[in-house]
């Protein structure tokens, strides 16, 4: 899920760390054809451990993954981050928000990593990207090394849908929140995309009783790390316990004052915890 208070992610990292990081200008974006999709991505580092970063709804590499792309240890981790199909520069084709679009994205991510000749990888999934990651880890267990998700859910609660419906119209967003996405999509497409995404969530609630992928969680066998901001206005805390209960051997870390975008606000701490988890034998 989306809608965050958009700030510059780098501001959340200490100045000393910033000096040691490369900038976005040093990272080359590339495109690869995967079936009928044109996927825009970056690949940084040469570490033995490969990981894929998956942004949330309407999110892109740089709006949601900048502190991770710039801050991960490139000697130990090779990090791939994509604009999901239909988002950012992974257009055309445009996104269609069918009730099974998460599964389609999971299949696309699997095929994308195969196309990059990376047969085994970990998943770093934020919000919608976390949902995609849950499905991918369940469907393709042999391909997934470890799983990290935050701000993610396997179903939609009625009150969560009501929150989304109240902000379906982008004119209700603050200028600061609208502008970065208008820059990416243009105002017309951004407004349509967001409205269609909210409508897609409503369709899942109406046709599937809110279930996205709960029945698949038991098939996730890889080590799993669930992180959560306890002040998240979009994703209820019940999702953390649900994921933890239904994914064998999963572990949790909570940010008591954190909201939805904990990987941006607490970037340095988040990166350290996630990298320790990924690199632990």
> Pairing relation of β-strands 144-150 and 224-229?
parallel
**9 three-state secondary structure:** helix
pLDDT value, residue 62: 96
Residue 184 covered by a domain: no
Residue 194 lies in a domain: no
pLDDT per residue, tens digit, the chain (281 aa), is 444 333 333 333 333 333 333 455 689 999 999 999 999 999 999 999 999 999 999 999 999 999 999 999 999 999 999 999 999 999 999 999 999 999 999 999 999 999 999 999 999 999 999 999 999 999 999 999 999 999 999 999 999 999 999 999 999 988 888 899 999 999 999 999 999 999 999 999 999 999 999 999 999 999 999 999 999 999 999 999 999 999 999 999 999 999 999 999 999 999 999 999 999 99
- 73 in Cβ contact with 43 (< 8 Å): no
CA 157-158-163 angle, 5° bins = 100
Indicate the DSSP class of residue 22. Answer: P
Instruction: Report if residue 17 sits inside a domain.
Output: yes
pTM, two decimal places: 0.90
Question: What does the angle CA 212 – CA 218 – CA 223 come to, to the nearest 5 degrees?
Answer: 105
187, part of any domain: no
pLDDT the model gives residue 24: 56
Burial class of 268 by CB neighbour count within 10 A (0 to 12, 13 to 18, 19+): middle
Rounded CA gap, 38 and 55, in Å? 17
Q: CB under 8 Å to 79, separation ≥6 — which residues?
A: 43, 44, 45, 50, 51, 52, 53, 68, 69, 72
β-bridge mates for residue 79, sequence order: 44, 51
Q: Which DSSP category does 222 fall into?
A: S
**197, part of any domain:** no
Tally of CB atoms within 10 A around 254: 13
In a domain, 166, yes or no: no
Q: Could you list the active site residues?
A: 127, 232, 260
Q: How far apart are CA 137 and CA 110, in angstroms?
A: 10
Domain range for 275 is 9-156+211-279
Give a yes or no: residue 203 inside a domain.
no
Task: Provide the number of structural domains found in the chain.
Answer: 1
CATH of the domain at 131: 3.40.50.1820
Whether residue 64 lies inside any domain: the answer is yes
- Number of residues that this document lists for the chain: 281
pLDDT of residue 174: 85
pLDDT at 15: 37
Residue with token string 């340095």 = 268
């Amino acid at each position: 899920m989306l809608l965050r208070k958009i700030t510059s992610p780098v501001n959340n990292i200490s100045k000393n760390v910033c000096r040691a990081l490369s900038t976005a200008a040093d990272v080359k974006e590339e495109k690869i054809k995967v079936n009928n999709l044109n996927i825009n991505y970056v690949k940084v580092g040469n570490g033995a451990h490969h990981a894929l970063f998956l942004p949330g709804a309407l999110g892109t590499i740089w709006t949601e993954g900048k502190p991770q792309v710039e801050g991960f240890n490139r000697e130990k981790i090779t990090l791939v981050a994509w604009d999901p199909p239909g988002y950012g520069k992974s257009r055309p084709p445009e996104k269609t928000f069918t009730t099974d679009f998460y599964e389609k994205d999971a299949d696309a991510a699997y095929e994308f990593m195969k196309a990059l000749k990376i047969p085994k990888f970990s998943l770093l999934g934020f919000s919608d990207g976390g949902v995609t990651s849950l499905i991918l880890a369940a469907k393709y267990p042999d391909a997934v090394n470890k799983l990290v998700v935050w701000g993610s859910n396997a179903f939609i609660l009625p009150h969560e849908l009501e929150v989304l419906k109240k902000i379906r119209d982008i004119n209700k967003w603050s200028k600061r929140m609208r502008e970065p996405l208008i820059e990416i999509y243009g105002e017309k497409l951004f407004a349509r995309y967001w409205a269609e995404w909210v409508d897609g969530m409503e369709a899942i609630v109406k046709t599937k009783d809110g279930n996205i992928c709960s029945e698949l969680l038991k098939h996730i066998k890889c080590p799993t790390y669930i992180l959560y901001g306890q002040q998240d206005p979009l994703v209820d805390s019940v999702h953390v316990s649900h994921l933890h209960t239904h994914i064998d051997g999963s572990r949790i870390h909570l940010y008591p004052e954190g909201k939805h975008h904990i990987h941006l606000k607490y970037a340095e701490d988040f990166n350290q915890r996630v990298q320790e988890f990924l690199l632990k034998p």
